[in-house]
Amino acid sequence: MTKRLTCPAIRSFKSEKRPLVCLTAYSAQIASLLDDHVDLLLVGDSLGMVLYGFDTTLPVTLDMMIAHGAAVVRGSNRAVVAVDLPFGAYQQSPQQAFEAASRVMKETGASAVKLEGGAEMAATIAFLVERGIPVFGHVGLMPQHAQVVGGFVKQKNRDKILADARAVEEAGAFAMVLECVDEDLSREVCDAVSVPVVGIGAGSSCDGQVLVTEDMIGQGSGYVPSFVRQYARVHEDISKAAENYAADVRTGKF
Ligand code: KIV
């Protein structure tokens, strides 16, 4: 039986200078396809936009995250699975965060939760870690703050981002996402902390990378952020298959 990676093992990737490979997964099927190739599967609340068609991640609920998190755990046996805590499920207090995170851990079997926030969430991260819940941090652009910062825009406040990354590390996160910052700044952040910094739209000098799988395989039907590298064009294959199937049914060939 394959042994699943652990959060401490992921943390040590940094000192071992091993690049950390992460992708999002929302279903058992996609998780099983990715599991042999990645170190960490992230059940991101981006599923609200990618799967459910919301304009932002804000409408995503804890029950949705738990249903998808459990599916991803069932579909994988090697990668660490981290599940996002959705907007409104953890910001109010460390106690509220513990209630949400402990449900995720019990009901999905995931290894960790991810939450957005820097210095302002440090006490919450420490509260969870001290009580047995590994936390994957998320600084830089935080999509749950999109309404405050004016959308999905590059984050340039160097001092704040550095302070946030240090606070998240000191609070005990085993790794963190750094989203949408210039490469020079992401290099500084990586040098400032001793846990892996996983970039998305943050240049190639991070300790690892994460992408939304549907962007990476070209399965989304709409906007693809400019930083995404596409390795397949699944959207075109599905659309062509549906066109050919419809033509065959309509002409009596099938
Ligand atoms: O929700 C998500 O999928 C994420 C990644 C894009 C980092 O937070």
**With a 6 A CB cut-off, is 186 part of the ligand 1 pocket?**
no
| Domains detected in the chain | 7-216 (3.20.20.60)
Q: How far is the CA of 16 from the centre of ligand 1 (A)?
A: 25
* Mean pLDDT, range 176-200, rounded to an integer: 97
Cα torsion through 84, 143, 15, 228, rounded to 10: 110
Give pLDDT, residue 159: 97
pLDDT digits (tens, 9 = 90+) for 161-175: 999 999 999 999 999
- For 126-151, the pLDDT digits (tens) are 999 999 999 999 999 999 999 999 88
Return phi, psi of residue 25, to 5°. -145, 140
Is 16 part of the annotated catalytic residue set? no
Per-residue pLDDT band at 221 (split at 50, 70, 90)? low
pTM for this entry: 0.96
Q: What is the per-residue pLDDT across 84-142, written as a single tens digit (0 to 9) for each?
A: 999 999 999 999 999 999 999 999 999 999 999 999 999 999 999 999 999 999 999 99
Task: Give distance in angstroms: CA of 246 to centre of ligand 1.
Answer: 35
